[in-house]
Amino acid sequence: MSVEVRLPDKISFLEKYALKKYVLKPNRIVVEVKPEVIYDLFSTMVKDLESGKLQFYVSTIVGTDLIKEGKIQLDYHIILLPEGIDIVVRTYLPRDSPRIKSIIDILPGALAGECETYDLLGIVFDGNIYLKRGFFVPPDVYGKNVFPLRKDSGV
Tens of pLDDT, residues 46-58: 999 888 889 999 9
Determine the pLDDT at residue 57.
Answer: 93
Question: 148 in a domain, yes or no?
Answer: no
R_g over Cα of the chain: 16
pLDDT of 91 above 70? yes
Determine the pLDDT at residue 50.
Answer: 87
pLDDT band at 132 (very low <50, low <70, confident <90, very high): very high
Q: Which domain holds residue 118?
A: 3-142
pLDDT of 1 above 70? no
**Maximal C-alpha separation, the chain:** 49
Question: 27 in a domain, yes or no?
Answer: yes
Global confidence as pTM? 0.94
Query: Who's near 119: CB < 8 A, 6+ residues apart?
Result: 132, 133, 134, 135, 136, 137, 142, 147
pLDDT of 3 above 70? no
Determine the pLDDT at residue 14.
Answer: 93
pLDDT of 106 above 90? yes
Determine the pLDDT at residue 2.
Answer: 54
pLDDT of 68 above 80? yes
Q: What is the amino acid identity at position 144?
A: K
Question: 153 in a domain, yes or no?
Answer: no
pLDDT of 100 above 80? yes
Question: 90 in a domain, yes or no?
Answer: yes
Q: How many domains does the chain have?
A: 1
pLDDT band at 18 (very low <50, low <70, confident <90, very high): very high
Question: 48 in a domain, yes or no?
Answer: yes
Question: 149 in a domain, yes or no?
Answer: no
Over residues 123-139, mean pLDDT? 94
* CATH assignment of the domain containing 70: 3.30.460.80
* Positions of E strands within the chain: 3-4, 20-25, 28-32, 55-66, 71-81, 85-94, 99-101, 124-126
Question: 155 in a domain, yes or no?
Answer: no
Question: 147 in a domain, yes or no?
Answer: no
Query: Who's near 107: CB < 8 A, 6+ residues apart?
Result: 42, 46, 58
